[in-house]
Structure 1
Amino acid sequence: MSIRPWVRVEPPDSRGLRRVVVGSETAGSVWSLAELRRLLTRLGYPETLDLDDPGQVFWSGGDSTTWPDRPWRRRATTVLMTAGLLASTVLHMLIGWPDALGALTFAQRVTGAVFVLSAVVLGAATVAAIDHFGRRRSRTSGALVLLGALITLATASLLLFMWFEEKEFTPYLLVFAPLWCWSGWALWLLARERAWQALPRPKTFAVGVVVTGLLSAVSLAYSTMYQPVSAPMHIALKAEFGKARPDPRYPYVHVPLKLSMKNDGGIPAYVLIDDYSVYGRTAEYGSGSDRVREWRRSLDVEGAGEAERYVDRLQYTPISSGLFYRPGDSLDVGQEFVLQRVVQIPKDAEFDEINVVLQVTYMRKDRGKIDARELRQVHRSWDRSSPHYCPVEKCGEKLVFHGQVRHNNNLINVTRTPRYVTAVWSPDQSPRYSVSSFHFRGPVARSEEKREDTRYGVATTHVDMSVPDVELLDGAGE
């Protein structure tokens, strides 16, 4: 019989794991007597080896019956730790991936990339957790799990803070709220066993964690606050009438109308709703002796909004109205859109002036992303098959546009209920819009609409041009 090296089984550590030394080299670690026998069998020892023979095995810190390991507790801890890290990995990837690939600004893409990188670290921490709560073959596994718990705590705390601003239910709440509790438990457990001590330079590790956290916070603040505010936004509108021409067969004058829109700002924009309307103005002329009375009578006319000394009883008659730009379409920086129309005016119309108003409501593209395909769909309010049907006697005849909008910072999307753009156009009313949680399920407070206008950078601009009717008729050869 060949002589084999002497086996020494060392005392159990804090988790009940006992190191096995064969000769002068570590052969492994075992949780139980059965594992010890399997280990020795793989090393060439006979299965019938007497483990209680002091000439074969030396027991230090207890005999062959000293196995304080609690396998169910250990396995439950491992499963809970890996499940939390895995859930945090998925959450970080869902937050960061859309911004990393589709955000408009560089800063927002950097923020998305930071969350994707955090997801990669958390994925590695998930694998490391199996080793750390197992046999700990890697010295860095504990520190990596600790880093994953710190990242989870920071992100879950940020998401909870943002959620408490409006307290709206979102499915993500069922993820980041439990993760916040989980991260507290994980940090308590890892701090109790001083998981960072196995690292050769624990202070360097701590400094790296702090610096990474600060850089992430600065990047997030820049992308959500400074950069969207600093980038200017300006939409220039222009309207002009061309040379009028009489109709050879009918008693009308054809007046060319040219409308244009150009993005002179530094950020692309989505057009939510727009309208151009042409009016004919009539008035009664007075001596101007009683300016106060005439001024009040001018304002008595609905929608007048003008007061002149010698002009009284202002009236505006709609002549033409229409949509200028398709809702949901974007206007890039420097892009210009021109629309030309021809307006028909009766030759015997007693208009003093012809007035055109062009109005455009837009949203900054660096604040959000609109489902343009959905918003472009036209829903006629009088169509009974439309989801936006409303009886004509109640709502009139309107065109309704409705689509979802997402914020370019995905942190906001996961802590809020979905937001929608609803725009309504009709030929006899000014266009209306709403950016809110409204999805045809109850009313929306005006305060919410104002808050969402600010959040998504929604603004309205218009241009108003008037030309005397005499000038148009002279141009038509009258």
Structure 2
Amino acid sequence: MTVGGETVGSAWSVGELRRILRRHGFPDDMDLEDTTSICWRGGDSGTWLDHPWRRHATLVLMMAGLLASMVLSAAVGWPDASGALTFAQRMTGVLFVLTGLVQGLAAVTVLDYWGRRQFRISGAVVLLGVLIALATSSLLLFMWLEEMEYTPYLLLFLPLWSWSVWALVVLVREKSWKGAPWPKRFAAGVVVTALLTGVSLAYSTMYQPTAAPMHLTLKAEFGAARADRKLPFVHVPLMFSMKNTGGIPVYIINDIYTVRGRAAAYSKVPRDAELVEEWRETAGELGNTLGEAELYIGDLRKTTISSNHVYGAGKWLEVGQEFSTRRVFQLPREAKYDTVSVNVQISYMRKDRGKLDVDEFGEAHYTWHGSDKRYYCQWVLCGQHIIYSGRVRHNNNLINVTRKPRFVTTSWSPGIRPVSSISSLRYWEAKGDLREERTELDRYGAASIRADAEVPMAELLKSAGV
């Protein structure tokens, strides 16, 4: 309705028409057929195409869909906006929160567009909210199709995708953008916003986590041994140091050092005929990470003397942070070892790709404790292990809402190389999918580093004055 060239509202019936006229000073009994006062376009006073029940149903469905999409955008964006480690990921989260606010505004505007239409731009705002809902639900659906795992969010974004397609058809049929004062500028703004969103998502999910380097330096060395005055033993110190020399912080998900004593049978005559067989036997020994083959020795035997954690599972190193520690182990003075070696291995993962629940992960579970049925396993079947397991959340919350929860699980046992996995299985004894574990280890940037040192037994005894 226009009065004197100014739009004053919209009427869906004769009653609404008279109420608007009354507010603008026209009499209640004004003749609606008086062509000198009223000009009808596309009909007359008896032409009303409105179906109230249909209009009200459309209003309710539009508002409900936009509000649900607003909640989804906020749920996806807020964890990244408030807790992501990188600036790009935080900005992606902020972007989702802002789109949620736009959809909330569009939900309120629905009341005007399917009501009095007092604001010319209301139809365009509703259209923008629906386009955002369609883009968000399409993105989530596309990411879900990569793995097709059940997640509670599926019950929200799958119906929302269907709703947004219906809503877009309704708004296009009604040409809701016509009321906007600058429809071309509005369309250009929508396109630019979509492009910026796509670039931001691509940068935060692909380029930025890959570009940041990850590097740890690790060192292990023996110190000078000291003889025990009361017991026939020597005390041998070990020094470990590691430093995060990369560009991102890292979680330590498992670590172990193992001290071994090596003994062998020596011969002045080369053992060429037996060398290959000896190497095969040595390389296949449990706990031997590298095969050894030497010309003048045979019958290689390695004995685990000491094994322990270095730093502790579930802790982390910030960029530039350094850690060092000193440990001591004991050797009998008469020990028949030729050399003593130490091997240290650290397993870690990028902190910019996932947030590990360190409180849960830092709790040790013992497989020989029958009271912990989730991790208990008979010794004859599984051996004896200490298990660490905890939830990890990807720093891009889009992955969290389109996947099952992921868990980091590691096993520790003295003298044995630690085993780590990241999968949708919570407990270590469950048989998982190797392909999934490799994918997740790569997704969260898991890696390992090791260092070795070896010293002759004679040198240790000499430094102890024995």
TM-score where L is the length of structure 2: 0.92
Which has the bigger relative contact order, CA under 8 A and spacing at least 6? 2
* Greater Cα offset, 274-283 or 374-383: 374-383
Pick the aligned partner of 2:419 from 428, 432, 448. Answer: 432
For residues 455 and 314 of structure 1, what CA distance do their matches in structure 2 show?
Answer: 40
Report if aligned partners of 1:268, 1:364 keep a CA contact under 8 Å in 2.
yes
Matched residue, 1:443: 431
Alpha carbons of structure 1 residues 201 and 56: separation in structure 2 relative to 1, 3 Å: closer
Unaligned runs of at least 5 residues, structure 2 = none
Report if aligned partners of 1:423, 1:434 keep a CA contact under 8 Å in 2.
yes
Alpha carbons of structure 1 residues 299 and 53: separation in structure 2 relative to 1, 3 Å: closer
User: Alpha-carbon deviation of 1:472?
Assistant: 0.3
User: Alpha-carbon deviation of 1:137?
Assistant: 1.1
Deviations along 1:327-382, one digit per CA (max 9) or x if unpaired, are 11111011111121111011111111111111010000111110111101111222
* Greater Cα offset, 338-347 or 439-448: 439-448
Report if aligned partners of 2:258, 2:415 keep a CA contact under 8 Å in 1.
no
Matched residue, 1:266: 247
Pick the aligned partner of 1:408 from 381, 395, 403. Answer: 395
> Are 1:362 and 2:348 an aligned pair?
yes
Pick the aligned partner of 1:296 from 260, 277, 285. Answer: 277
- Cα RMSD, aligned residues only: 2.3
Q: Where do residues 8-157 of structure 1 align in structure 2 (5 Å cutoff)? A: 19=1, 28-39=9-20, 49=29, 60=40, 65-157=46-138
For residues 75 and 93 of structure 2, what CA distance do their matches in structure 1 show?
Answer: 10
Matched residue, 1:379: 365
Structure 1 letter corresponding to 2:52: P
Deviations along 1:235-260, one digit per CA (max 9) or x if unpaired, are 11111111101111111110011111
User: Alpha-carbon deviation of 1:65?
Assistant: 4.8
* Greater Cα offset, 288-297 or 267-276: 288-297
> Are 1:420 and 2:417 an aligned pair?
no
Alpha carbons of structure 1 residues 253 and 205: separation in structure 2 relative to 1, 3 Å: same
User: Alpha-carbon deviation of 1:148?
Assistant: 1.4
For residues 420 and 113 of structure 1, what CA distance do their matches in structure 2 show?
Answer: 27
Matched residue, 2:444: 456
For residues 207 and 288 of structure 1, what CA distance do their matches in structure 2 show?
Answer: 86
Matched residue, 1:8: none
Matched residue, 2:153: 172
User: Alpha-carbon deviation of 1:428?
Assistant: 4.3
For residues 2 and 196 of structure 2, what CA distance do their matches in structure 1 show?
Answer: 45
Matched residue, 1:187: 168
Pick the aligned partner of 1:338 from 306, 310, 324. Answer: 324
User: Alpha-carbon deviation of 1:470?
Assistant: 0.6
Alpha carbons of structure 1 residues 125 and 25: separation in structure 2 relative to 1, 3 Å: closer
Alpha carbons of structure 1 residues 306 and 30: separation in structure 2 relative to 1, 3 Å: same
User: Alpha-carbon deviation of 1:477?
Assistant: 0.3
For residues 133 and 292 of structure 1, what CA distance do their matches in structure 2 show?
Answer: 93
For residues 215 and 53 of structure 1, what CA distance do their matches in structure 2 show?
Answer: 53
For residues 70 and 433 of structure 1, what CA distance do their matches in structure 2 show?
Answer: 63
* Greater Cα offset, 263-272 or 133-142: 133-142
User: Alpha-carbon deviation of 1:68?
Assistant: 2.8
**SS of the counterpart of 1:29?**
coil
Structure 1 letter corresponding to 2:360: E
The size of the alignment, in residue pairs, is 458
For residues 311 and 79 of structure 1, what CA distance do their matches in structure 2 show?
Answer: 86
For residues 269 and 276 of structure 2, what CA distance do their matches in structure 1 show?
Answer: 10
**SS of the counterpart of 1:30?**
coil
For residues 300 and 7 of structure 2, what CA distance do their matches in structure 1 show?
Answer: 100
Alpha carbons of structure 1 residues 208 and 56: separation in structure 2 relative to 1, 3 Å: closer
User: Alpha-carbon deviation of 1:188?
Assistant: 1.4
For residues 200 and 39 of structure 1, what CA distance do their matches in structure 2 show?
Answer: 24
Alpha carbons of structure 1 residues 254 and 53: separation in structure 2 relative to 1, 3 Å: closer
Structure 2 letter corresponding to 1:381: T
For residues 52 and 147 of structure 1, what CA distance do their matches in structure 2 show?
Answer: 37
Pick the aligned partner of 1:214 from 176, 195, 206. Answer: 195
Matched residue, 2:463: 475
For residues 25 and 358 of structure 1, what CA distance do their matches in structure 2 show?
Answer: 81
* Greater Cα offset, 364-373 or 144-153: 144-153
User: Alpha-carbon deviation of 1:25?
Assistant: 6.8
User: Alpha-carbon deviation of 1:179?
Assistant: 1.6
**SS of the counterpart of 2:325?**
strand
For residues 53 and 126 of structure 1, what CA distance do their matches in structure 2 show?
Answer: 37
Alpha carbons of structure 1 residues 242 and 26: separation in structure 2 relative to 1, 3 Å: closer
Alpha carbons of structure 1 residues 182 and 26: separation in structure 2 relative to 1, 3 Å: closer
Alpha carbons of structure 1 residues 288 and 138: separation in structure 2 relative to 1, 3 Å: farther
For residues 180 and 2 of structure 2, what CA distance do their matches in structure 1 show?
Answer: 23
**SS of the counterpart of 1:175?**
helix
For residues 91 and 82 of structure 2, what CA distance do their matches in structure 1 show?
Answer: 10
For residues 68 and 14 of structure 2, what CA distance do their matches in structure 1 show?
Answer: 35
> Are 1:322 and 2:308 an aligned pair?
yes
Structure 1 letter corresponding to 2:171: L
For residues 218 and 42 of structure 1, what CA distance do their matches in structure 2 show?
Answer: 50
TM-score where L is the length of structure 1: 0.90
Alpha carbons of structure 1 residues 80 and 433: separation in structure 2 relative to 1, 3 Å: same
For residues 83 and 255 of structure 2, what CA distance do their matches in structure 1 show?
Answer: 27
For residues 6 and 211 of structure 2, what CA distance do their matches in structure 1 show?
Answer: 64
**SS of the counterpart of 2:155?**
helix
Deviations along 1:280-330, one digit per CA (max 9) or x if unpaired, are 011112345342522321330313611111221211100001111221111
For residues 27 and 182 of structure 2, what CA distance do their matches in structure 1 show?
Answer: 43
Structure 2 letter corresponding to 1:176: F
